[in-house]
Amino acid sequence: MTATLDTPSPRPQAPTPAPAPRGSLFDRLRDVLTSPKSGPVLVTAVLFVVVFVIGGVRYPGFFSGQVFLNLFVDNSYLIVLAVGMTFVILTGGIDLSVGAVVAVSTMIAASLLQTGWSPGVVIALILVLTSVLGLLVGLMIHVFKVQPFIATLAAMFLARGLCYVISKDSISISEPTFVALAVTRIPLGPGLSITPSVVIALVVVVIAVWVLGFTRFGRTVYAIGGSEQSGMLMGLPVARTKVIVYVVSGFCSGLAGVLFSFYTLSGYPLTAVGTELDAIAAVVIGGTLLTGGYGFVLGSVLGVLVLGVIQTIITFEGTLSSWWTKIFIGALLLVFIILQKVLTSRRR
């Protein structure tokens, strides 16, 4: 006779409650603001507001909408440069060639327009050439294992040398389309206006935010900066992404050069000397880690605005040398690097 054991029937499980909806935009905004990763960006935003208010209190006419909009008008090219630099630094790289690429872009534009080329063809050619230069730099870094510092330093010398091959003197731009884009103002209200360059820069920022935040490529960029080896083990396209970020930087540098040519209506071999350092400073002040893996494009834009408002205050003061801008930028860089060290050590 076989004994049977009664197996107790399983107790019915309560249904797993569905996760609470996150749908509210305010909830998402609160999550972002309370995240430890947002610390440096919030500090940059507060710094910008404080400096702008100080300028408004000290100088009559400073605290106005047009002065604020002029920060975008005067720095639209730098915003585009900072966007490209953000992609590179997020992967743990660096690009020292962006200032020289801006210069050679203005030289190409001025020289070709002077010979009668169509402005559309000139702009397209510049963007293609600078993207190809970025591609070559990316391949040097990936295929030949050249350090980004050395590879982009070589590209910087190449681009700056090409400026002098084109011309040793300044070349003015009198092409009607470029002149129209330089003088056109887009009204935003009584006494308020921006230029087409600002619109282009903001479109670039929106696209960059979408790419980094909502695409696989953007997630791979962050993953490479966090740990390239882990990214490879996860099967991410590390090699392709490392090359593409330098293409993005080259494209942004070429576009920044076009915007700068709208701003100055000239090409000059010494244009944008040291601008690569301004772009790096804006990205770091905006909260992006130099070691990669963490940062926001909007933070870089805030970094550009901080640099712009400091320059504006020095201009309103009238008695200070423009070199004081570099002094303040250097001090801010030291402060934000220390802040990054403190925040990263806490996360560990």
Indicate the CATH number of 42-347 among 2.10.260, 1.25.40, 1.10.3470, 1.20.120. Answer: 1.10.3470
**Interatomic CA distance for residues 309 and 55, integer angstroms:** 8
Angle, CA of 110, 113 and 118, to the nearest 5°: 140
Task: Compute the average pLDDT of residues 78-102.
Answer: 97
- The DSSP result for 241-291, as a single string, is HHHHHHHHHHHHHHHHHHHHHHHHSEE-TTTTTTHHHHHHHHHHHTT--TT
Q: Which residue has the higher pLDDT, 107 or 37?
A: 107
pLDDT at 220 over 50: yes
- The DSSP result for 175-218, as a single string, is -HHHHHHHH--EEEETTEEE-HHHHHHHHHHHHHHHHHHHSHHH
Please tell me the predicted confidence (pLDDT) of residue 12.
47
3-class DSSP assignment, residue 172: strand
Give pTM, 2 decimals. Answer: 0.88
326 falls in which pLDDT band (50, 70, 90)? confident
Measure CA of the first residue to CA of the last residue in the chain; give whole Å: 65
36 falls in which pLDDT band (50, 70, 90)? low
Q: Which amino acid is at 140?
A: M
pLDDT at 348 over 50: yes
Beta pairing partners, 303? none
With the CA atoms of 120, 244, 95 and 295 taken in that order, what torsion angle do they form, in degrees rounded to the nearest 10? Answer: 110
Asked if 333 contacts 281 with a C-beta cutoff of 8 angstroms, the reply is yes
In this prediction, what percent of the chain has a pLDDT beyond 90?
68
Task: Compute the average pLDDT of residues 213-222.
Answer: 94
347 falls in which pLDDT band (50, 70, 90)? low
For 38, which DSSP code? G
Least confident of 14-23, 168-177, 270-279: 14-23
Please tell me the predicted confidence (pLDDT) of residue 281.
93
pLDDT at 124 over 80: yes
Neighbour count for residue 95 (Cβ, 10 Å): 32
Q: Which residue has the higher pLDDT, 322 or 197?
A: 197
pLDDT at 98 over 60: yes
